[in-house]
Chain A
């Protein structure tokens, strides 16, 4: 195999249609669809006494108004995506609430009308009589259990988990130095530029349900819909077309609309669509990141960590549809790239009257990284040591892999770092950061991090050479901007010896590939990328065998290159791949680019049927890749910042990233992921804050008040790579989707702390927050 494309800065094949305005996003599809609106709870916690939909139903142009009682699945609790034995009190919502609502934005009624304008008018006419109940909004209040979110969940605790590595108690007792920290991370929101949308059609003659959904997991949505509507999976197609950013929360099984839209389409016999508006996106779509950590660390006089005890509470929100993946990831990732010989971590996952939480880019890791890095800075301060030196002394060394941390990972395995070189990352970042700029109120922050990527169970791919010589490839996971079509084409093109432009990729369309899991947890490149390599490798083998028959050579003497199968060392002796595709189907095609070439050869006479036992027609194959464990990516971010001591405006003077995601498929794409991740991290560290009030109302549910950074807030990011290939997959790659965001909070906190001399123990910061902290310090 030549590697012409893998590793090259190949420009994206998906750009042309997106740049011309010819992309296909879910809301772009109309096709005579009725439009719908969800009526949502304006209360964070309330009993529903009655709902009157008569006026809404009577409005001309309204097709239907559904309440829970109108749904065959109205009394079914929605599923828990990933159950866990420690999730003793898991609770999920129902599609439409009928007795109690537990967060602002919980769906209560579903209105379908001729168009969106009428549907909105009708939604205004739905009368719900709510009786407000006491609200629990902060994780601390929840843990104190003054009020309950669910009557039958004592203490508001959905799950509790304790993990012990070594003997923290004795190690703490024996440690020469000890330090306690109280650290707080608030909720944040992914806020993809495209909000969510669903379009569905039921075709009675075909007995077929077709759903377009801006989801990160069409295969799972399809499985769920098939069960719920009692259809064989083969009668349900789910397609994630172009998706305008995902970052985690576009995977959730299920948002109510994902059931209601197909249901209404089947009931009403017309296509139905639903498009979320930005305001409802703020409360209806899952959030993340609310955690409170109580850390105690024991260390020696050189700043080496001897024992770490982290007891944290995780804000689940009102329900636990995603299980306890987030706190499990946090618990696993607190030690990060450092040796922590004795580690005890306990978490409680607690209910609050706020939007449910599920992974948002970083998924439990930014808070873990923040906790560990704040701890190391505290050690350095206590011992008056250099912050970087303390990190150097605690880093896992490059000869310590595989390194077992001793705690559980999100896939049920143990956390084992497969490969890496953490000291090299730190030294390179320092080198890139260069000398400290002159001036006052300047601070430096640096944070290495690890990220478990590429979790299983598996992904698959189908690759086929058409008789035109073009190649089509499909996988189940969709793209939300990660350039899968380009990256997969690079992998396939190398194995088949064709031009990257000759490979056309479809992803996230169950009509093209029906198995798979989803795009999340930085797993796409590892799982689907390797599946592409497996499938394309199978096709290449098949092509060699078919061609060998006709060239009368040993398959081992053949190679795929230049769009042909040819004899190694004599490139003129070969047959175009298009012709091999024709030959691979014993009943020749009447049309097609390869036909003529194929008929120049006569079949070698051999006994037996044309299609030998075990052979399949067509130059195609389906392959799967199932990793044995996570591939652990790592990196290091460092920055200089200046904070204005009067206005507390943050200026990022320099920001550098060194990243190790093993072998790079396409540096352009990886760098784009990092730049975007850092920007999201900066937003989450200093600008974006979900301002919930004591009544559980989100006071800033618009882009006017939830301050996502514009270009003016984001500096240039300098990026470098080191490559330690993962031994756990044939391509040696590790995921890269979340790396940009993980350490940003830790870096900014450390830098701001130094710039202002104010202890930073919480995220996000803001000018106002820094002002308050500085006032508190002077008083």
Chain B
């Protein structure tokens, strides 16, 4: 599998979840685990460009596919990705635990709908739970991200 553009061998243990593999074998701890049963969206990564929940997949299922994690959006010496930048500007995060999952979902959303309607915004983030923000600032961030992306 390729993770953030780099080829990586599959884990030895076939039971290894993709989320555990990313976090604990590859050290990509930006992908978070909030429920491990596919509801919270904290573990969202891009799988061949589309958002998926990495806690619901075995790492071996990613063989032959492209996985992008939050760390893959912008190198540490580069400016933030427009979606990350928008979350910063709009105070779209508090504790930051849900944030990587939201950011990856929004990258996927804007890919599909570069100029989303309010309904598409809610729909696009309706698979991610946040317990801190109350979502208003995240909605603002999505709209801002659409602006920044179109620039």
Quick one: given A21-B71, A702-B35, are A675 and B133 in contact (CB under 8 Å)? yes
What is the bound-complex CA distance between A125 and B130, given in angstroms?
Answer: 36
Residues in A whose Cβ lies below 8 Å from that of B125 = 710-711
Q: Which of A28, A193, A716 contacts B131 (CB 8 A)?
A: A193
Q: For window 31-83 of chain B, which residues contact chain A by CB distance below 8 Å? A: 31-37, 39-40, 42, 69-71, 73-74, 76, 80
What is the bound-complex CA distance between A766 and B95, given in angstroms?
Answer: 29
A696 near B: Cβ within 8 Å?
Answer: no
Q: Which of A20, A23, A279 contacts B84 (CB 8 A)?
A: A20
What is the bound-complex CA distance between A712 and B118, given in angstroms?
Answer: 11
Say yes or no: A702 contacts B131, CB within 8 Å. no
Say yes or no: B131 contacts A247, CB within 8 Å. yes
What is the bound-complex CA distance between A668 and B127, given in angstroms?
Answer: 26
Known: A702-B35, A710-B129. 7 other contacts (CB 8 A): A193-B98, A245-B95, A245-B97, A481-B95, A482-B94, A669-B91, A675-B136
- Mark interface residues in B120-151 (1 if CB within 8 Å of A CB, else 0): 01100111111111111111000000000000
A54 near B: Cβ within 8 Å?
Answer: no
Say yes or no: B122 contacts A711, CB within 8 Å. yes
Residues in A whose Cβ lies below 8 Å from that of B122 = 711-712
Say yes or no: A23 contacts B96, CB within 8 Å. yes
B88 near A: Cβ within 8 Å?
Answer: yes
A504 near B: Cβ within 8 Å?
Answer: no
Say yes or no: B30 contacts A717, CB within 8 Å. no
- Mark interface residues in A650-686 (1 if CB within 8 Å of B CB, else 0): 0000000000000000001101100111111000000
A21, A243, A668, A669 pick with most chain B CB within 10 angstroms: A21
What is the bound-complex CA distance between A30 and B27, given in angstroms?
Answer: 9
Residues in B whose Cβ lies below 8 Å from that of A245 = 94-95, 97, 131-132
Say yes or no: A16 contacts B89, CB within 8 Å. no
Give 4 nearest A-B pairs by CB, closest first: A21-B30, A244-B97, A481-B95, A18-B96
Say yes or no: A710 contacts B128, CB within 8 Å. yes
Q: Which of B88, B100, B128, B133 contacts A21 (CB 8 A)?
A: B100
Say yes or no: A672 contacts B131, CB within 8 Å. no
B84, B89, B103 pick with most chain A CB within 10 angstroms: B84
Residues in B whose Cβ lies below 8 Å from that of A30 = 24
**Would you give the shortest CB distance from B100 to chain A, in whole angstroms?**
5
**Would you give the shortest CB distance from A34 to chain B, in whole angstroms?**
13
Residues in A whose Cβ lies below 8 Å from that of B28 = 21
**Would you give the shortest CB distance from A352 to chain B, in whole angstroms?**
26
- The 11 listed contacts between A and B (C-beta, < 8 Å) are A19-B70, A22-B30, A22-B76, A191-B131, A192-B131, A481-B95, A677-B134, A702-B37, A703-B39, A710-B135, A711-B126
B23 near A: Cβ within 8 Å?
Answer: yes
Q: How many residues of A contact B (CB 8 A)?
A: 56
Quick one: given A30-B24, A676-B131, are A481 and B29 in contact (CB under 8 Å)? no
What is the bound-complex CA distance between A21 and B28, given in angstroms?
Answer: 8
Quick one: given A20-B76, A481-B96, A703-B129, are A668 and B39 in contact (CB under 8 Å)? no
Say yes or no: A712 contacts B126, CB within 8 Å. yes
Quick one: given A19-B103, A193-B42, A710-B128, are A278 and B96 in contact (CB under 8 Å)? no
A126 near B: Cβ within 8 Å?
Answer: no
Say yes or no: A194 contacts B80, CB within 8 Å. no
A positions within 8 Å CB-CB of B: 11-12, 14-16, 18-23, 25, 27-28, 30, 116-117, 190-195, 242-245, 247, 277-279, 480-483, 668-669, 671-672, 675-680, 702-704, 708, 710-712, 714, 716-717, 740
Residues in A whose Cβ lies below 8 Å from that of B135 = 675, 679, 710-711, 714
Residues in B whose Cβ lies below 8 Å from that of A191 = 131
B35, B89, B128 pick with most chain A CB within 10 angstroms: B35
Say yes or no: B36 contacts A20, CB within 8 Å. no
Quick one: given A21-B28, A25-B32, A676-B134, are A703 and B37 in contact (CB under 8 Å)? yes
Residues in B whose Cβ lies below 8 Å from that of A480 = 95
Say yes or no: A21 contacts B37, CB within 8 Å. no
Say yes or no: B139 contacts A711, CB within 8 Å. yes
What is the bound-complex CA distance between A15 and B85, given in angstroms?
Answer: 9
Quick one: given A483-B94, A711-B125, A714-B135, are A193 and B40 in contact (CB under 8 Å)? yes
Quick one: given A703-B37, A716-B136, are A672 and B15 in contact (CB under 8 Å)? no
Beta-carbon nearest neighbor of A9 in chain B: B91
Q: Which of A247, A278, A677 contacts B36 (CB 8 A)?
A: A278
Beta-carbon nearest neighbor of A24 in chain B: B29
